[in-house]
Amino acid sequence: MSATSFDLVLIGGTGDLAWRKLLPALFQAWRHGKLPADGRILAVGRNEMDSAGYREWLQQRFRDLPGPARPGAEAFKRFAALLHYISMDLMQAEPYQRLRRWLKEPQADEGRERAAGTVVLYLATSPHLFPQICGQLCAVGLNGPEVRVVLEKPLGHDLESARAINRAVGAVFSESQALRIDHYLGKSAVQNLTALRFGNALFEPLWRRESIASIEITLAESLGVGTRGEFYERTGALRDMVQNHALQLLTMIAMEPPSTADADAIRNEKLKVLQALKPFTPESARRDVVRGQYRAGVCEGRAVPGYAEEVKVPAHSRCETFVALRTEVCNWRWAGVPFYLRTGKRLAAGTAYIVVNFRAVPHPIFPGPHPANRLVIKLQPEDGLELHLLAAKGHSGAGALAPVSLDLDFDKAFVEDRVGAYERLLLEAIHGRLNLFVRSDEQEEAWRWVEPVLRAWREDDAAGLGPRPYAAGSWGPAAASALVARDGFSWAEES
Ligand code: BG6
């Protein structure tokens, strides 16, 4: 189904997410000619202003965007014709009647009939407001089949709170109307991961325990928490990055081939992976999970403060800014293969990749030792693939092998078609395609899996055992290296 007409309502239209991510992404979609022509974008916020005032406000905000994302004056003016604004107190009932009228009635200045189209309600507000907002939307009938609701993370802080949100949303919208965002699923490299596995015959026969020794997922940031100390203090790296982004990547790596490309065929397979993850016990949560917190250090050539010195972070914080863990997918395909996940702030580099470490040849005939084959799926900053192989070196025939790599750079190969994560996800939401959104059962299963770790850490905190310190600009606590070394592996940057 493709939409020809749409109304996209950004609830939280003056918030950071709206002006930093969503509206720049909508601008790009418009610039690329991908937005259905007959569309309107309605920002909803508390501030009293009219649509003209909002357009001016947004143009000011856009000046803070990095160069390539910043629209020129003429382009902004044409894009801004799609933008409208109404001010609403989300806690009151009456404004929702106004919203309904706005959506149902063509705008006076449009002077033409619009086909009734899709309505996408993007809840870019704090998730604790979701139940209240959904209830009010239902009360004014804004939950019909043409309506989709997009939910931004964090969706809960544990299984119970995630379920409460899902119940409240589910009382008003069907599962196929509720689109849970995990922006990692919108990244081009993640699309390529599915293409690599299921669009090519080459790798799938090797994609199993017989050929693969271990898998590493690294999501490293060189940035600190910046001004988000208050949010981060309540969240931490496990909830912020592992429960959602890292686990979603793991499911895409480990899932069985779905029988079709339908959203539910894919999401059923992803769910099975989450259900097959080895559950943590109090012992394994301490043995197989390393948590760390950055101290002052030098990051990208600049002296930076430690986490506990950041704005709105208490001096004795026990919040983790780094997690490394080892898990397994307990099924026939993956039994015994370690999956290592690692994420952190203020690490040595801002980079994200997945490394598939293949097994060594069963019977070496060349003098060695040699590194085993490796496939590196680069997620960012580059989007590409590196296949590390061995080749005969020079004229020395059977004597010497040298490492060589096949290097695919998708940014160069598809220069014209680069699409940002939010741009892709917003377009998918407008067109009602659910493949890239997380189903409630996936999300709850991911919470179920991380909960024993959260419990073990709460107990450790009470016993005075906090996260391990690491210097900003390093690759995290030494214990993270020890975690993989125990199995005879090393993280990519160490090998
Ligand atoms: C968000 C987290 O979900 O992802 C942030 O809340 C994190 O803390 C961000 O910085 C990382 O996303 P990306 O796309 O920059 O890797």
Establish if 405 belongs to a structural domain: yes
Residues 152 and 192 in one domain: no
Q: Which domain-ending residue is among 180, 211, 246?
A: 180
For the CA of 244, the closest atom of ligand 1 is: 3
Determine the atom of ligand 1 nearest the C-alpha atom of 228. Answer: 8
| Cα distance between residue 307 and residue 469, in whole Å | 10
444 and 388 both lie in a single domain:
yes
Ligand 1 binding pocket includes 320 (Cβ within 6 Å): no
Cα torsion 427, 380, 449, 291 to 10°: value is -140
CB atoms within 10 A of CB 446: 26
Same-domain check for residues 146 and 282: no
Asked if 209 and 145 sit in the same domain, the reply is no
Closest residue by CA, ligand 1 atom 13: 184
> In a structure prediction context, what are the per-residue pLDDT tens digits for the chain, which is 495 residues long?
566 789 999 999 999 999 999 999 999 999 999 998 789 999 999 999 999 999 999 999 999 888 777 888 999 999 999 999 999 999 999 999 999 999 987 654 555 555 568 999 999 998 889 999 999 999 999 999 999 999 998 899 999 999 999 999 999 999 999 999 999 999 999 989 999 999 999 999 999 999 999 999 999 999 999 989 999 999 999 999 999 999 999 999 999 999 999 999 999 999 999 999 999 999 999 999 999 999 999 998 999 999 999 999 999 999 999 999 999 999 999 999 999 999 999 999 999 999 999 999 999 998 888 999 999 999 999 999 999 999 987 765 556 899 999 999 988 888 777 789 999 999 999 999 999 999 999 999 999 999 999 999 999 999 999 999 999 999 999 999 999 999 999 999 887
Q: Residue 215 falls within a domain, yes or no?
A: yes
Predicted local confidence at residue 400, as pLDDT: 82
Residue after which a domain boundary falls, among 144, 165, 180: 180
DSSP, collapsed to helix, strand or coil, labels residue 128 as helix
Q: For residue 428, is it within any domain?
A: no
Query: Which amino acid is residue 136, in one-letter code?
Result: Q
Is residue 424 within a helix (H) or strand (E), and if so which, with residue range? helix 421-431
pTM over 0.75: yes
In a domain, 423, yes or no: no
pLDDT at residue number 107: 56
Q: Is residue 422 part of a domain?
A: no
How far is 406 from 2, CA to CA, in rounded Å? Answer: 38
Asked whether residue 426 is assigned to any structural domain, the reply reads: no
Q: Does the beta carbon of 182 lie inside 6 Å of ligand 1?
A: no
Minimum CA distance residue for ligand 1 atom 4: 241
Given a contact cutoff of 8 angstroms between Cβ atoms, the answer to whether 289 and 449 are in contact is no
Burial 224-263 (b: 16+ CB within 10 A, else e): bbeebbeebbebbbbbbbbbbbbbbbbbbbbbeebeeeeb
CA distance 223 to 106: 45
Domain extent for 368: 185-417+438-494
407 and 476 assigned to the same domain: yes
Say yes or no: 189 and 158 in one domain.
no
Is the same domain home to 202 and 118? no
d(CA 381, CA 220): 11
Catalytic residue among 84, 183, 245, 388: 245
Return the half-sphere exposure (C-beta side, CA atoms, 13 A cut-off) of residue 482. 8
Kindly give the distance from the C-alpha atom of residue 103 to the centroid of ligand 1, in angstroms, as a whole number.
Answer: 32
- Quick one: 114 and 206 in the same domain? no
Ligand 1 atom nearest 223 alpha carbon:
10
221, 232, 345, 438, best to mutate for ligand 1 pocket (most atoms within 8 Å of CB): 221
Task: Answer yes or no: do 167 and 227 share one domain.
Answer: no
> CA–CA separation, 25 vs 35, rounded Å?
11
Burial of 481 (0-12, 13-18, 19+ CB in 10 A): middle
Please tell me if the CB atom of residue 221 comes closer than 6 angstroms to any atom of ligand 1: yes
Residue 190 Cα, ligand 1 centroid: separation in angstroms? 15
Residue 424 maps to a domain: no
Q: Are 169 and 130 in contact (CB under 8 A)?
A: yes
Q: Any idea how long the chain is?
A: 495
Q: Given the CA of residue 184, which atom of ligand 1 is nearest to it? A: 14
16 CA distance to ligand 1 middle (Å): 14
Candidate from 153, 157, 183 with most ligand 1 atoms within 8 A of CB, to mutate:
183
Residue 448 alpha carbon to ligand 1 centre in Å: 22
Number of the ligand 1 atom closest to the C-alpha atom of 345: 10
Q: State which of 135, 159, 180 marks the end of a domain.
A: 180
Q: Is the CB of 152 under 6 A from ligand 1?
A: no
Is there a catalytic annotation at residue 245?
Answer: yes
Is-contact 322 293, C-beta < 8 A? yes
Report yes or no: 366 and 338 within 8 Å, Cβ to Cβ.
Answer: no
Interhelix angle 263-276/440-462, nearest 10 degrees: 30
- Positive/negative CA dihedral, 154, 157, 160, 165: negative
CA of 361 to the centre of ligand 1 (A): 38
Same-domain pairing of 159 and 221: no
- 241 alpha carbon to ligand 1 midpoint, in Å? 7
Contact 3, 431 (CB under 8 A): yes
> Does one domain contain both 147 and 295?
no
Identify whether 430 is part of a domain. Answer: no
Q: How many domains does the chain have?
A: 2
CA distance 274 to 442: 7
**What's the CATH number where 132 sits?**
3.40.50.720
Identify the bridge partners of residue 120 per DSSP, sorted by sequence position.
8, 148
Domain containing residue 237: CATH number: 3.30.360.10
Which pLDDT score, from 0 to 100, does residue 197 have?
96
Residues 167 and 236 in one domain: no
Pocket test for ligand 1, best of 241, 243, 249, 322 (most atoms within 8 A of CB): 241
242 Cα: distance to centroid of ligand 1 (angstroms): 11
What distance in Å separates the CA atoms of residue 356 and residue 167, rounded to the nearest whole number? 38
Distance between CA 205 and CA 284 in Å, rounded? 32
Cα(459) to centroid of ligand 1, in Å? 28
